Amino acid sequence: MRSFSDYLRSVDDAALLTLFTKRPDLVIPVPPDVASLAVRACSPPSLARAIDSLNQWQFQVLEAAVSLNEPFSTKSVVGLTHKASAAVLEDLIAMGLIYPANDGMRLPSQLRDVLGNEPAGLGPASLAKLKLSELDDAPAEARRTLERLVWGPPRGSVGDIKNPGPGVAWLLERKFLVPLDQRTVVLPREVAIYLRGGKIHKENLVDAPQLVGAVRNKDQINLASIANISTVLRWVEELLNFWAEEPADALRAGGLGVRDLKIISNHLGVDESCTAFITELAYLSSLISIDSDDRIMPSNKFDVWLMQTPADRWQALTSAWLITSRASGLVGRADAKNVAALGPELDRVNAARVRALTLSILKENQGIAPDINSFNSLLAWRAPVRRNSSMQEELASWTLRESEWLGLTGQGALSAYGIAFLEGAELSLINADLPKTVDHILIQSDNTAIAPGPLEHEVSQELAIMAEIESRGGATVYRFTEATIRRALDHGKTGEEIKAFLSKTSKTPMPQPLEYLIADVSKKHGKLRVGNTSSFIRCEDTALIAQIMNDKKLDVLALRRIAPEVIVCNHDSVDVMRVLRESGYLPAAESANGLILTGKHANRALAKPRPPRIVGEIEVPDIDMLNSAIRVIRTGEKSSHKQAHLRQVANEALGALPRSTANETMDLINKYILEEKSLSIGYADNNGAVTHRIIDPIRVSAGALIARDHATGEVQSFRIPRITGVAAL
């Protein structure tokens, strides 16, 4: 066994299945044969992914193996580490990070380059023969120098290599230090291992640290979790209903502006980091879309989402969050001021991997709300090497926070719903455990209404048009204002319909001030009409027209009166209505034929939602796909072996160009066409050079031989006058 390719050819299907399970990137896409598989497995990106999946102890054993000269044995690795490393070596072999050869164990090419030049703080191997026992009698100055270099980094600076201090000179003389240039020396690997007591690491981290934290009651965990699930579903629904009425504007570079983020944050009553997370949830689930005019609005998928059960809605949000490579925690970070929610800067290559690892740790320690320091210690052991590892602790802390917001955890510990979600189990338990919806409200004398629980969907949607949410919690408080009543009238409600709905829905009588408010706004609504000229304003009350013309707040519209009851304007009717409402007027939209344009409407984006891409992670294919990949590789290997064998036969058989007369050539060609056998030919190209070819003759047509060329695998045409001769294989 001379190479990694030979090793892969020697293993059985079970070993390949284990390899592909641990390193799924090797079969996406499926390589054509074992040689291609070996090249991919030895490539730096694939090796980096495999090394990222190791825990601290496995990584220490790999560092010990890299510090040895190839080939090395299990005994030599155990001698540098711990007896438990023998089992780890088997895992590393199964992952293809080490492979057994005839003379011992070896490393795939480029593995040392991926790990770096100084694994475990060790320098290069010495080229000279060293008497390491002399280190025991080293002078004090030399000992101090060695103490600074022994645990790495192994490089040190000197003032001048030609005139070093006495300690450095003693070490240089005996080759215990090696000069790299005029001011740099390096400690050879053998010297460092000897000074470390024949070990590679100060401490062999064989066992994972114990996770500690507060122990939570199972029932309390689930109660907190189901409350969080109810809350996050309400947050997403409120966000999208708000943007349906008042769409946000997308930044030119992509993403949600700070101003719009603050507006929706105040509306939801949560901080901006939580708001950014909620907007990302909607974005990941394709519930929002950005129109061609850069308005952020709910997509049509939002209506489908609303019709699903709470469990299905929650699963859609959580599934998208679990696999995304985006990190919403970056929004508002001190050193990331230009990072915007929904923007393109949130992708982090290891975000999904850290998120999955964090949840797996919680799952292994059920009932415990982990202490953050203990959790970080365990996380560092489980994932000592990570691409972009400087953010690992932050990504994990954001995952813990977002898991609580989502309801995967309750009081910091993984809930029954979170466990069921991670295991792919049925989530109908969520529908049963969510608080029961109520169909009534309690109207107060101060123009507010209290919903004593989550409202039924139809009631909630109707009430959201007529009132604003003032506070949230176990009970939600709604407030009725002139603007909210006007909004209901814009949606086609009449004053009487609003009163009838509230009287029917409320368990308490409607207070007189609210009746007067509804009647007063209904009386004024639609008295003023706005349409397009660009736009016009029409009103039968000439006094109101005069008031508008004299209102300084409306100068921005540049209004022009063309009749006692009509004003025209160059601005769009939507903008005119917005300015009028901000100035205290209550206009209604009018069509070109004079009909008032009111009615229930739900603004939805016309553009198709484009959820963000997922960066950097590869899912493990199912067992059937892996078995199919193995069959493809085996089949491709047989084909490659056959072609290589035929090329070898050709080289051996065609030591000289085949020569035959014209008659012999045609007889042999016709014979091998009938027998369907391969033969070798000499063929002259356009320049007169003659080459050997192995072909499978198919037929003769129009003075040419149609045959499959073994070198290319393609069917080609060979002109018969150019065939110098044929010979059997």
Q: Which CATH number fits domain 442-522: 1.10.3470, 3.30.420, 1.10.10, 1.10.20?
A: 1.10.10
CA nearest to 399, candidates 381, 379, 385: 379
Q: Crossing angle for the helix pair 258-268 and 218-245, nearest 10 degrees?
A: 120
| pLDDT-above-70 percentage for the chain | 93
The pLDDT value recorded for residue 416 is: 94
Q: What are phi and psi of 725, to 5 degrees?
A: 170, 165
Give the span between the Cα atoms of 698 and 470, in whole angstroms: 84
Range with the poorest average pLDDT among 32-41, 126-135, 417-426, 584-593: 584-593
Write out the two tokens for 459. Answer: 């009631």
Number of other residues whose CB lies within 10 A of the CB of residue 246: 14
Range with the poorest average pLDDT among 30-44, 243-257, 291-305, 682-696: 682-696
Number of other residues whose CB lies within 10 A of the CB of residue 10: 12
CA nearest to 320, candidates 271, 280, 274, 359: 280
Give the span between the Cα atoms of 611 and 464, in whole angstroms: 28
Give the span between the Cα atoms of 630 and 18, in whole angstroms: 11
Give 602's pLDDT tier (boundaries 50, 70, 90).
low
Place of tokens 């579903």: 233
The pLDDT value recorded for residue 336 is: 62
Three-class secondary structure of residue 543 per DSSP? helix
pLDDT at 380 over 70: yes
State the alpha helices, DSSP H only, in 583-712. Answer: 623-653, 662-675
Place of tokens 């660009």: 534
Give 653's pLDDT tier (boundaries 50, 70, 90).
low
Give the span between the Cα atoms of 129 and 504, in whole angstroms: 97
Q: Show Cβ contacts of residue 645 under 8 Å, excluding neighbours closer than 6 positions.
A: none
Q: What is the mean pLDDT of the chain?
A: 86
Instruction: Tell me the pLDDT tens digit for each residue of 28-78.
Output: 888 888 888 999 999 998 998 899 889 999 999 999 999 988 889 999 999
Range with the poorest average pLDDT among 62-71, 129-138, 667-676: 667-676
pLDDT at 288 over 80: yes
The pLDDT value recorded for residue 96 is: 93
pLDDT at 314 over 90: yes
Cβ–Cβ under 8 Å, residues 278 and 268: yes
The pLDDT value recorded for residue 337 is: 67
Give the span between the Cα atoms of 297 and 437, in whole angstroms: 27
The pLDDT value recorded for residue 647 is: 56
pLDDT at 652 over 60: no
Map 18-83 to HEC letters.
Answer: HHHHHCHHHHCCCCCCHHHHHHHHCCHHHHHHHHHCCCHHHHHHHHHHHCCCCCECHHHHHHHCCC
Give the span between the Cα atoms of 20 and 35, in whole angstroms: 15
Of residues 699 and 617, more confidence is placed in 699
Number of other residues whose CB lies within 10 A of the CB of residue 262: 12
Give 593's pLDDT tier (boundaries 50, 70, 90).
low
Instruction: Tell me the pLDDT tens digit for each residue of 334-376.
Output: 666 678 889 888 888 888 889 999 999 999 999 999 999 999 9
pLDDT at 313 over 70: yes
Three-class secondary structure of residue 292 per DSSP? coil
Of residues 724 and 12, more confidence is placed in 12
Instruction: Tell me the pLDDT tens digit for each residue of 174-206.
Output: 889 988 888 888 999 999 999 999 899 989 999
Cβ–Cβ under 8 Å, residues 483 and 497: no
Q: What is the largest CA-CA distance in the chain?
A: 117
The pLDDT value recorded for residue 646 is: 58
Of residues 546 and 647, more confidence is placed in 546
Three-class secondary structure of residue 210 per DSSP? coil
Q: Which CATH number fits domain 654-728: 3.90.1150.10, 3.90.870.10, 2.30.30.100, 3.40.50.2300?
A: 2.30.30.100
Cβ–Cβ under 8 Å, residues 209 and 377: yes
Mean pLDDT on 671-691: 82
* Domain spans in the chain, listed from the N-terminal domain onward: 4-121, 132-195, 217-433, 442-522, 527-589, 654-728
pLDDT at 651 over 60: no
Write out the two tokens for 603. Answer: 């603004």
Three-class secondary structure of residue 459 per DSSP? helix
Three-class secondary structure of residue 537 per DSSP? strand
The pLDDT value recorded for residue 411 is: 92
pLDDT at 648 over 70: no
pLDDT at 600 over 60: no
pLDDT at 83 over 60: yes
CA nearest to 506, candidates 436, 435, 444: 444
Please tell me the pTM assigned to this model: 0.72
Give 246's pLDDT tier (boundaries 50, 70, 90).
confident
Cβ–Cβ under 8 Å, residues 58 and 65: no
Region of residue 321 (phi > 0: left; psi between -120 and 50: alpha; otherwise: beta): alpha
Number of other residues whose CB lies within 10 A of the CB of residue 678: 18
Mean pLDDT on 465-493: 83
Three-class secondary structure of residue 574 per DSSP? helix
pLDDT at 640 over 60: yes
pLDDT at 90 over 70: yes
Burial class (CB in 10 A: 0-12, 13-18, 19+), 666: middle
